[in-house]
Amino acid sequence: MTFHSGFACFVGRPNAGKSTLTNALVGQKVAITSGRPQTTRHTVRGIVHRPDAQLILVDTPGLHRPRTLLGERLNALVKDTLTEVDVVGFCLPADQRVGPGDRFIAEQMTELARDGRGTPVVAVVTKADLVGKGKLAEHLMAVQALGDWTDIVPVSATSGYNVDVLEDVLIGHLPEGTPLYADGELTDEPEAVMVAELVREAALEGVRDELPHSLAVVVDEIVARDEPAANGVPMLDVRVNLFVERDSQKAIIIGKGGARLRDVGSQARREIEALLGARVYLDLHVKVAKDWQRDPKQLGKLGF
């Protein structure tokens, strides 16, 4: 049996369903999801294992016209990633009309397909469960008119519709090779990065539009308590700093009497315990780093 292995990258404008699709293909959460745009800020690799193939999915921030230094760096991150993968999935949500942002990305995808490597680009119509058959057909035609794609696949990550078909299509573009990761490994993200992303996901739930862009999360430390494990499950102290740009945003995160921050901690702790396989004492601190999105020095400190 011939074995194929390689990298696929999802691109698309913010909130096109890239992270949710990555999680659906992997079968477990490896990328945070949110109804807010610009949730993803790091490339997050998810690994799909099959007897005949290994597909490494690279989930990137949404391509957009940047307004800050952070936005410029996120776009650069996406473009660097595109040069290193075997196939690109261009995600376009079925419940939204093709717009200027999609055309902006389509132009770059066309250039990518025409360069020396000729990287294949698959158009992935996400959120297909949110529209009727007629509207989906119209959207597929609009997507087809955007460029010369190697394939067009409608999918729904939430219902599972065509997820297996997309998996087959992506793997069909991978070169022959050996496994690149150990069997059972689902992501190569460091634990601290995953923990920070889970806290940020919890903090983004139900907040105002202004906050997602201004919130950064950094794990200070993850240390095991020097005490016997209860029922064989160790106890970890996890200390995390949440950075915002203004005092008013700090108040939003903390909430009246600290209620909102406690909710964030409770939600994040459950996810972190499942990730780390341990009981967790989660210590959250909210700090103000004024205008960090536009400050090169502060961006560096926050990992961008």
> What tens digit of pLDDT does each residue of 133-178 get?
999 999 999 999 999 899 999 999 999 999 999 999 999 999 999 9
Q: What percent of the chain stands above pLDDT 70?
A: 79
**What is the pLDDT averaged over residues 4-24?**
87
Whether residue 154 contacts residue 140, with contact meaning beta carbons closer than 8 Å, is answered with yes
Q: Is the pLDDT of residue 210 over 60?
A: no
Q: How many angstroms separate the CA atoms of 242 and 289, rounded?
A: 10
Which of these, 260, 217, 264, lies nearest to 241 by C-alpha position?
Answer: 217
Q: Is 4 helix (H, G, I), strand (E, B) or coil?
A: strand
**Count of beta carbons in the 10 Å neighbourhood of residue 260:** 18
Under the banding of pLDDT at 50, 70 and 90, the label for residue 6 is very high
Q: How far is CA 186 from CA 23, 51, 182, 274, in A?
A: 10, 15, 9, 14
The DSSP element (H or E) to which 279 belongs, if any, is strand 279-288
User: What is the average per-residue pLDDT within 281-294?
Assistant: 88
293 neighbors 249 (Cβ within 8 angstroms): no
List binding-site positions. Answer: 12-19, 59-63, 126-129
Non-local (6+) Cβ contacts of 55 within 8 A are 5, 6, 8, 25, 47, 48, 167, 170, 171, 174
3-state DSSP assignment of residue 239? strand
**Section 50-75 average pLDDT:** 71
The more confidently predicted of residues 127 and 294 is 127
Q: What pLDDT, on the 0 to 100 scale, is given for residue 38?
A: 44
Q: Looking at this protein, which amino acid is placed at residue 210?
A: E
Higher pLDDT, 48 or 60: 48
- Which parts are annotated binding residues for GTP? 12-19, 59-63, 126-129
Lowest mean pLDDT among 143-157, 187-201, 207-221: 207-221
| Cα-based distances in Å from 290 to 215, 227, 274 | 11, 39, 34
The 10 Å Cβ neighbour count of residue 228 is 8
Pair of tokens at residue 224 = 């095991």
Mean pLDDT, to the nearest integer, of 216-236? 81
In what order do the strands lie in the sheet containing 151-154?
44-50, 53-59, 4-11, 87-93, 121-126, 151-154
Cβ proximity of 244 and 215 under 8 Å: yes
183 vs 187, residue with greater confidence: 183
The whole-number pLDDT of residue 304 equals 63
Residue 227 pLDDT > 90, yes or no?
no
In angstroms, what CA-CA distances link 167 with 19, 87, 243, 264? 15, 12, 37, 34
